[in-house]
Structure 1
């Protein structure tokens, strides 16, 4: 990617994030007073408007979790600061929308969409959109994710021994765009099956230190197109914040050369989660997840440890290899009104093949988080995770799993 294109890519993020922030205040901005008004009246008018903005903001936050039955879409947007050692001080913006594709059907699950964006002092910029759409009569379900980011980050290697060596830490920058969609047909009350398509574009640049050697001669720009079959079993009472039920999802995919990929490889990803009420106001959620690959897997498509959903606190992409297994268990406790806390424990391991799994390579994880009910059933979350190598702070919307 040329330098001018990379700058355009970054400018796009700035524009989109600025637009999101502007939308949050646009409706509450008062018009300018007449230019011939007296100065004292002008100042008084400005004071009144400022108080009005604060009052409206407080009212918005106080009533944001009260759904309006007359609204077709229950939508809200919120921003907040956060800090991470690697990305620096940042401003995150999250938005949530829930709606029904058929308001006359009271048994139809509410569809949802989540928008999130982030910009930090260390030039990390990200925008994303994800959601689940339930078609009328539940004949079909559409799951989708779209996100893009640009980030000056670090690379440790493409296997556990390399990743665990602090001396391998090397600077590089990369841009990433990923689009994934599943169109699932209903089999029975809880089960769906259908095709899955994923496109991933990754471009690495400004490789320093040992980064060129760590990539082992692989191309710095990767176009990865994958197709496959997905099966979902979902008995959760509410997708974004389940209190009971099960969730199982299996994605079997291939990225063949006939679709333009440099090499052919295969992947299988399984997620199994369950949710149970423990005592008053408490929910125990547990998940086990694995992603297995075979063939010539490009460096950007290797299985990784660390994200805003799993192994929170690990630097995303530090530990990577062909396969990963991770698990987590979380206690979610309602405390008071719209406030709650969570604590979790987790573990993971990356490995090239099962014969090379070792107990001393298990990566531990733990953390604590705060929850605030932004919309009914939709939480804004602040998570602080502990890893073998340090800590990480996450600001996002919806539960991690």
Structure 2
């Protein structure tokens, strides 16, 4: 005889089997619990399906682990975590603060960990931004200047270890304007150069300690993925001699971006960026093509010089549910001074990408960028700009 016990919700929780042995009056009962097996693929699916549905949490935090790839680091395994929170939940007009944590390891030998975030303090009186990163990996170096970067014969190997910490604390001057100090600590240890002559006599390892200010005008509706608004930043940094710096120099970094909704689900974004260096600039701090989401597809640092001017125009289109696409075009030019800006040294860029909404207004992006040299694929979190 079999008896099935049914629990709340109609789920079986035990089975009783009664058996009568020949020649015996006793009845033995054996209780066998039913074990539920968990399917890890279903658990992952449920987790990912809900990462963008917890806006009401005091700290909306989610994590994603998966493959990664870039031209500079090759195939690897990465983990990224993103958190959204408010310093004053009673103020619905206070922008959400954010934090991103990432770690990555690749087949090339690259290992990177980092932390970055933007904090909007109560009443938006202050804004605290920061980035902390450490990485080590075997890289490629072509030298300084456009001509060196354009020559495949200059491609050489080297090893690099880099540590950087860069916080800024901004005071709100009015509704959209912020001004405040910036500190930068950067240490680069490079070794194993295949062709040291490309350094043009500069040190392989460089330490930089700098301070300056950040002036920001920001009307974006959301920092990580703006649908509308404008953003302007002027960052002025100084690295004087006598403060442990190997090189004395300064730079002016200007960024302007604007965002417009052109139709349902469509956002047109544009960014213009310039970086001008003055003084004795080390090779590690020169303007480089292919960094910070700009000129996607270029090998980071292949083209570098004292100065850069670059821009990109991108159309972002929501498709359905959590899916979207993006297409962009861009141009860049690296040059030693304003007397050496040439049309035939312009670096073109265009590409297409897929967007998946990891959290509300926080996208995972897969971009295929086409360049002057060769196309390359990149995988990252948050929009490029």
Q: Give the TM-score taking structure 2 as reference length.
A: 0.89
Which digits, 9 at most, give the CA deviation of each residue in 1:257-288, with x for residues without a partner? 13211231110000000000111110000000
Aligned residue for 2:287? 303
2:223 to 212, 224, 239: 239
Q: Counterparts in 2 of 1:118-197, with a 5 A limit?
A: 118-197=104-183
Match of 1:266 among 232, 250, 258: 250
Change in CA separation of 1:363 and 1:68 when aligned onto 2, cut-off 3 Å: closer
Q: Which runs of 4+ in 1 moved over 4 A?
A: none
Equivalent positions of 1:270-281 (< 5 A) are 270-281=254-265
Counterpart residue number, 2:65 = 79
Q: How many residues align?
A: 354
State the Cα distance separating 1:86 from its structure 2 match. 4.7
Does structure 2 conserve the Cα–Cα contact (< 8 Å) formed by 1:313 and 1:392? yes
- The CA RMSD measured in Å over matched residues stands at 1.5
Cα distance in 1, alignment partners of residues 82 and 74 from structure 2: 25
Contact 1:73/1:99 (CA < 8 Å) preserved in 2? Answer: yes
Alignment partner, residue 7 of structure 1: none
| Match status 1:340 vs 2:324 | yes
Work out whether 1:318 is the aligned partner of 2:302.
yes
Question: What's 1:286 paired with?
Answer: 270
Report the equivalent of 2:27: none
Higher helix share: 1
Q: For the Cα contact (< 8 Å) 1:92–1:118, is it kept in 2?
A: yes
Unaligned runs of 5+ in 1: 1-40
> Cα distance, 1:49 vs. partner?
3.7
In structure 2, the partner of 1:63 is 50
Query: Is the radius of gyration larger for structure 1 or structure 2?
Result: 2
Closer, same or farther: CA 254–272 of 1 in aligned 2, 3 Å: same
* Residue 357, structure 1, aligned to residue 344, structure 2: no
CA contact (8 A) 1:82 1:393 kept: no
Could you tell which deviates more after superposition, 59-68 or 71-80?
A: 59-68
Q: CA deviation at 1:307?
A: 2.3
Q: Identify the structure with the greater strand proportion.
A: 2
Using the alignment, how far apart are the partners of 1:372 and 1:306 within structure 2? 23
TM-score, reference length from structure 1? 0.86
CA distance in 2, matches of 1:90, 1:268: 34
79-88 or 354-363, larger mean C-alpha shift: 79-88
State the distance in 1 between where 2:71 and 2:38 align.
35
Q: How far is 1:83 from its partner?
A: 3.6
- Where in structure 2 are there 5+ consecutive unaligned residues? 1-31
Question: Does structure 2 retain, via aligned residues, the 8 Å contact 1:365–1:388?
Answer: yes
How far apart, in 2, do the equivalents of 1:129 and 1:392 lie? 25
Instruction: Compute the displacement of 1:221 (Å).
Output: 1.2
C-alpha distance in structure 2 between counterparts of 1:87 and 1:194, whole Å = 35
Q: CA deviation at 1:88?
A: 2.6
The match for 2:314 is 330
Q: Find out whether 1:399 has 2:357 as its counterpart.
A: no
Match of 1:380 in 2: 364
Change (3 A) 1:68 1:189: closer
Q: Which whole-Å deviations, capped at 9, do the CAs of 1:162-203 have from their partners, x for residues lacking one?
A: 111111111111111111111000000000000011111111
CA contact (8 A) 2:71 2:297 kept: no
